[in-house]
Amino acid sequence: MTKNPIYCAIDTSSIDDAEKIINQIAPHIGGIKLGLEFFTSCGIKGIEQIERYDLPLFLDFKLYDIPNTVKKSLQNILSYNPTYTTLHVSGGSNMLKECVDLKKELNSNTNLIGVTMLTSFDDDSINEIGISGTVNENVKNLSALALDCGMDGIVCSPMEIRNVRETFGSKLKVIVPGIRNQTKNNDDQKRTLSAKKAIEFGADIIVVGRPITSAEEPGKAAEIFHQSIK
């Protein structure tokens, strides 16, 4: 494996904390994922600060709104040239297609990634919000829609990687959070697996947050994750 597929989710509300962690883990990760917690506290300035580390950036805002609002927001996000950014596939085909068209118009290299089912959901909790069928079935349907609309890839849990790969081959990049090497603490994640298994099953990128950022020694934890997939 040449490129390090580990993107660390820097979910913190403080730029100082973020930088402290990044300084320790930078040699052991392939990229940095910044999401809503970081953005709603550190803002654009925070993103610009983290850009200086020269690591590939994944801006994970999981956009979900009417097509016009999503398209305009995506235009702002693309100005930062992230390697990856996310939209909810359940925003529908109009929303997704407008975003794919915008990407083409701007000649952007950013990978547009569709979130299928959050890894904090399981079969019971999706039924609770009126979605029928299993998580696996829904991930497959939403992945098909993402591909149809010209998206570059999808996010799913480690449990669905094989299903997505069997159905779509390498037509979609597969990005996988919910990574836990030890099963004793899953936090709020319901569908988890180890980094090694996720890569074996065919994930292109694995997102690891708290198992690295909340570790006593984040640098050591990141190194162990990296070693575990070599």
Give burial (CB, 10 Å; 0-12/13-18/19+) of 216.
Answer: exposed
CB of 209 to ligand C5P, least distance (A): 3
Tell which positions 167-206 bind ligand C5P, by CB under 6 A.
177-178, 187, 189
Residues with Cβ within 8 Å of 125's Cβ and at least 6 positions away in sequence, in order, are 190
Does residue 149 belong to the site contacting ligand C5P (CB under 6 A)? no
Residues in the chain: 230
Q: How many residues bind ligand C5P (CB under 6 A)?
A: 16
Stretch that binds ligand C5P, among 14-22, 111-119, 127-135, 218-226 (CB under 6 A): 111-119
Structure tokens given for 83:
């390697």
CB of 167 to ligand C5P, least distance (A): 18
Which candidate, 61, 51, 53, 39, places its Cα nearest to that of 81?
A: 51
CB of 113 to ligand C5P, least distance (A): 9
Active site includes 197? no
CB atoms within 10 A of CB 141: 13
Does residue 115 belong to the site contacting ligand C5P (CB under 6 A)? yes
The sign one gets for the Cα dihedral 8, 195, 189, 71 is positive
Does residue 118 belong to the site contacting ligand C5P (CB under 6 A)? yes
Q: Is 133 left (phi over 0), alpha (psi -120 to 50) or beta?
A: left
Tell which positions 58-97 bind ligand C5P, by CB under 6 A.
none
Binding mask 14-43 for ligand C5P (x = CB under 6 A): ---------------------x--------
Catalytic hit among 33, 45, 62, 220: 62
Q: Which of 142, 207, 221, 222 binds ligand C5P (CB under 6 A)?
A: 207
Which candidate, 26, 25, 43, places its Cα nearest to that of 34?
A: 43
CB atoms within 10 A of CB 92: 14
CB of 187 to ligand C5P, least distance (A): 5
Stretch that binds ligand C5P, among 23-31, 143-151, 207-215, 218-226 (CB under 6 A): 207-215
Phi, psi (rounded to 5 degrees) for 2: -90, -60
Contact status, residue 20 vs residue 8, Cβ threshold 8 Å: no
Does residue 209 belong to the site contacting ligand C5P (CB under 6 A)? yes
CB of 105 to ligand C5P, least distance (A): 27
Active-site residue numbers?
62
